[in-house]
Amino acid sequence: MFSNTQIKSFKKLQTPFYYYDLDLLSRTLNQIKEHGLSKGFHVHFAIKANFNFPILKLVKEAGLGIDCVSGKEIERAIEAGFKPNQIAFAGVGKTDEEILTGLRHNIFSFNCESLQELEILNELAFSCGKTANVSIRINPNVEANTHKYITTGLNENKFGITADKLPALFDLLPSFKALNLTGIHFHIGSQIRDLKPFADLCEKVNNLQDLFEQKGYQLEHINLGGGYGIDYETPDEEPVPDFKSFFDLFEHNLELREGQQVHFELGRSIVGQCGSLISKVLYIKEGIATNFAVIDAGMTELIRPALYQASHKVDVLTSSKPEKIYDVVGPICESSDTFQRGTLLPEIKRGDLVAIRSAGAYGEVMSSGFNLRERVKAYYSHKLENNNTGQ
Ligand SMILES: *Cc1c(COP(=O)(O)O)cnc(C)c1O
């Protein structure tokens, strides 16, 4: 995966740091263009997965919009050059200030998650003399078969409006004079590798669309959210997710109306594979059943293993010796601060470099200052190749 030239430039940099392969990001975006945008689908990048400007620049150039979950993300997207009419705004806990930020910019859509939020949005929009475009986030009660912390479309989850609230919604809607209902929105979870949940989602969407029409609402758009997964185990075998199968599924299963727009909000599947966390080995410690390789990156730089029991492939970049068994662990005082357990890796010594792969999504953005750790740095392939190692 990494060339000798890349590894040579890594050796000159202070670890740990994130490294982004922008060429891989471009290839990923090209697949989205070829299989998604070409069908007339609209794709919003979920900016929460990675908000670095060089990444946003390529996403914008590819013609994607943005999906936000905070007011600051709306501002970040505007700063990166996205147009307000490309911005969708979801989240169960939008503050009044965040709603006002969205209203000020006249964003494409507020994806509303509760009846009370609709009421507040209506009041705030009315008070600014605006009409807010609203998409109702519906919880479709679809099993996403993913980790329970990133399952969002079941009745027990906090997201969206459940089906039992729809009669109340239809009663209330006519009284919301400052709202313009433009669509319905869904997002069933993340790291969904199997297409079955998305097929189930299409079926629910088709039924709901009929229901909205019976109530007299023609929906301008359907927003299916994101959640498509990536190959964490063997990233080099599938560096770009199979977007053809993903978009084809929706094309074949959705019963769309004339002129109706289809929107997606993809995060992980766009940026996950292009990022790696590069770290240096500090100590090797022989354990009872394994050897511990203590590296200088921890859960403060990449919390996914500790938070979601996620497994990221670890590549040893500077050794090709025979393999031994290792637990690759960080320096933080938590036993969950472990990247790999009982894995065979080429023999490691102090000073070796490792790459923790598939860390481009929900990696750097979730880094923390726990233990007064320094904010982790980021480098990009095109700059490293030009020998410019600035951020
Ligand atoms: C996080 C999120 C997404 C993106 O999810 P991925 O799994 O990264 O594709 C899309 N829509 C909403 C509403 C989200 O909260």
pLDDT per residue as tens digits for the range 365-380: 999 999 999 999 999 9
Give the chain's domain count. 2
- For residue range 9-58, list pLDDT tens digits in order: 999 999 999 999 999 999 999 999 999 999 999 999 999 999 999 999 99
Residue 333 lies in a domain: yes
Domain-terminating residue out of 257, 272, 287:
272
Shared domain for 249 and 316, answered yes or no, is no
Cβ atoms 184, 208 nearer than 8 A:
yes
| Confidence bin at 386 (pLDDT 50/70/90) | low
Domain-terminating residue out of 223, 240, 272:
272
Shared domain for 137 and 282, answered yes or no, is no
- Could you list the residue range(s) of the whole structural domain that residue 288 is in? 273-387
Shared domain for 278 and 358, answered yes or no, is yes
Q: Residue range 282-309: average pLDDT?
A: 96
Cβ atoms 356, 302 nearer than 8 A:
yes
Shared domain for 303 and 262, answered yes or no, is no
How far apart are alpha carbons 325 and 346 in whole angstroms? 9
Residue with tokens 């914008």: 60
Q: What are the φ/ψ torsions at residue 206 (nearest 5 degrees)?
A: -60, -40
Write out residues with Cβ below 6 Å of ligand 1. Answer: 46, 48-49, 67, 69, 90, 187, 190, 225-228, 265-269, 361
Residue 10 lies in a domain: no
Residue 365: which CATH number? Answer: 2.40.37.10
Q: What share of the chain is helix, strand, coil (3-state, %, to 5)?
A: 35, 25, 40
| Confidence bin at 295 (pLDDT 50/70/90) | very high
**Atom of ligand 1 at shortest range from CA of 191:** 7
Residue 32: which CATH number? Answer: 3.20.20.10
- For residue range 160-189, list pLDDT tens digits in order: 999 899 999 999 999 999 999 999 999 999
Domain-terminating residue out of 209, 241, 272:
272
Shared domain for 355 and 225, answered yes or no, is no
Cβ atoms 75, 92 nearer than 8 A:
no
Residue 135 lies in a domain: yes
Residue 7 lies in a domain: no
Shared domain for 153 and 189, answered yes or no, is yes
Shared domain for 307 and 345, answered yes or no, is yes
Shared domain for 202 and 120, answered yes or no, is yes
Residue 2 lies in a domain: no
SS3 58: helix
Work out the burial of residue 319: count CB atoms within 10 Å of its CB; fewer than 13 is exposed, 13-18 middle, 19 or more buried. middle
Shared domain for 35 and 122, answered yes or no, is yes
CA of 193 to the centre of ligand 1 (A): 14
| Confidence bin at 152 (pLDDT 50/70/90) | confident
Cβ atoms 365, 49 nearer than 8 A:
yes
**Atom of ligand 1 at shortest range from CA of 90:** 13
Q: Give, as one character, the DSSP assignment of residue 151.
A: B
Residue 47 lies in a domain: yes
CA of 108 to the centre of ligand 1 (A): 17
Shared domain for 215 and 235, answered yes or no, is yes
Shared domain for 222 and 316, answered yes or no, is no
What is the model's pLDDT at position 306? 96
Residue 12 lies in a domain: no
Shared domain for 116 and 260, answered yes or no, is yes
Torsion over CA: 10, 11, 13, 16 (sign): positive
Residue percentage of the chain with pLDDT more than 90 = 92
Using most ligand atoms within 8 A of CB, pick from 45, 59, 64, 67 the residue to mutate for ligand 1: 67
